[in-house]
Amino acid sequence: MNMQTFRAATMREAMNMVKAELGAEAVLLSTRELGSGRVEIVAASDPQPKTSVPDFSRIARNTSPTAVSPEILNSMLTELQEMRMEIKQLRSEKSVARRSRQDWDRMVDELRDLASVMGIHGAEDAQAAPIITRLVRGGVEACLARTLVEQASQNARTASDTLWGVKQSLEDALSPAPAIWDSSSRSVAALIGPTGVGKTTTLAKIAAQATFYHGKKVALVAADTYRIGGTEQVKTYAELLGIPWMVAENRNALAGALKRFERADLVLVDTSGHSPWQDSGLAYLDTLTSGLPVERHLCVMANTDGADVSRMVERYRSGGVKSLVVTKTDEARRMGSMLSSVWGTDLQIAHLTTGQNVPEDITVPNAQKLTQAVLG
Ligand SMILES: Nc1nc2c(ncn2[C@@H]2O[C@H](COP(=O)(O)OP(=O)(O)OP(=O)(O)O)[C@@H](O)[C@H]2O)c(=O)[nH]1
Ligand SMILES: [Mg+2]
């Protein structure tokens, strides 16, 4: 038997010395604390090591003078526990670091993609990028945001000059059309647009505002004979407001209604909603109003995607549109699509609707406030 004594500052260190000198099969004969914080292990190795697995439980139970003392055993166990905790901690730190690194890399890739879509490259765009980002966050289409900023930065020396230029463009584009109830001469206004955008509710709001707050003689025409209950809706509002109304199921009936209401200051025509992407819906409007002095006001919802609203307006414009009404602004989180609805056209927004209440939830737009809403 090869017996040796090992002394070290910690039990782990002493055990490492035993393992290095006598191998993993070494038997601990005794351990003790030497004072001044050092420990001593007496260990031996068999020249012909046993192949059986050592019985550690026997060591723990052994109470003979050469066995590991309970204090040392406790300190070893504590140390072991601490090492386990350290390893666990290191493992979790490593995985968090790996994960956040991956997240970071993905984010950088996404930003790079976004930047290339928007055509932002290099340091020369450092001034433009934050303004473009603000506009995009406000719901403005990326390409439109970029165009606005490019135009504004042409004569700008600083970022705040560019921002000022962008604000001016927004305020110009978002300047309002005359309110439908404000016309000084007699007018016939048809509210048109896709299904469910709020045409009939808006018609009732305008009728009430014109009657009660602007002293106009108003009449309603229910031309939505397509939807079940379409004409009843108009009848109900007319009766509530105490104003005349008629049903017009086609162009000739509409002509008759306009004749009958020729002394009204404002005739409001409720039309049925159709998909803007189907030609049949647009053809219905053309047929209904053909040759009649009817001004069309297009209703679009504020929470429609900017690119969609812009195409939608384009489709309806082919048949003639006098102004826009942006509905359900209370349901929109961002106002950027309003800009898309008028940008590149000579159209302006006449009204915003802000809720379901008739007649109060309708306003005329304020260009500064809308600009602020778009820029956030
Ligand atoms: N939140 C909100 N809801 C509105 C607003 N305007 C109308 N609505 C609601 O939208 C729904 C549809 O309104 P309508 O006025 O019937 O819409 P429409 O365009 O006439 O619908 P169709 O005739 O079926 O094409 C109703 O529940 C209205 O109360 C608005 O400004 N805000
Ligand atoms: Mg309707």
d(CA 104, CA 89): 22
Is residue 82 situated within a structural domain?
Answer: no
What is the tally of structural domains in the chain?
A: 3
Low-confidence ranges of the chain (pLDDT < 50): 49-66, 123-124
Regarding whether 329 and 221 lie in a shared domain, the answer is yes
Buried b (16+ CB within 10 A) or exposed e, 266-299: bbbbbbbbbebeeeebbebbeebbeeeebbbbbb
Regarding whether 238 and 169 lie in a shared domain, the answer is no
CB 354 near ligand 1, within 6 Å:
yes
pLDDT in tens, 60-70: 444 444 455 66
Regarding whether 319 and 248 lie in a shared domain, the answer is yes
CB 319 near ligand 1, within 6 Å:
no
Residue range(s) defining the domain that contains residue 236: 180-375
Q: Between vectors from CA 234 to CA 232 and to CA 235, what angle results, nearest 5°?
A: 60
Regarding whether 295 and 189 lie in a shared domain, the answer is yes
Regarding whether 371 and 251 lie in a shared domain, the answer is yes
d(CA 84, CA 87): 5
Regarding whether 146 and 62 lie in a shared domain, the answer is no
Contact present, 138 and 374 (Cβ < 8 Å): yes
| Helical H segments across the chain, by residue range | 11-22, 56-61, 70-117, 128-137, 142-153, 159-173, 199-213, 230-241, 251-260, 279-289, 306-317, 336-342, 367-375
From 192, 199, 201, the mutation candidate for ligand 1 (largest count of ligand atoms within 8 A of CB) is: 201
Regarding whether 280 and 143 lie in a shared domain, the answer is no
- Residue 35's contacts (CB-CB under 8 Å, 6 or more residues apart) are none
Regarding whether 169 and 184 lie in a shared domain, the answer is no
Regarding whether 220 and 368 lie in a shared domain, the answer is yes
Is residue 364 situated within a structural domain?
Answer: yes
Is residue 95 situated within a structural domain?
Answer: no
Regarding whether 155 and 193 lie in a shared domain, the answer is no
Regarding whether 160 and 62 lie in a shared domain, the answer is no
Backbone CA torsion sign across 129, 135, 140, 146: negative
How many other C-beta atoms lie within 10 A of the C-beta of residue 340?
Answer: 25
Q: Which ligand is nearest to the CA of 275?
A: 1
Is residue 262 situated within a structural domain?
Answer: yes
> Rounded to two decimals, what is the model's pTM?
0.70
Q: What is the DSSP string of 162-197?
A: HHHHHHHHHHHHTPPPPPGGG-SS-EEEEEE-STTS
d(CA 44, CA 227): 99
Span from the CA of 258 to the centroid of ligand 2 (angstroms): 20
Give the pLDDT confidence score for residue 119 in this predicted structure: 62
Give the pLDDT confidence score for residue 113 in this predicted structure: 59
Regarding whether 205 and 335 lie in a shared domain, the answer is yes
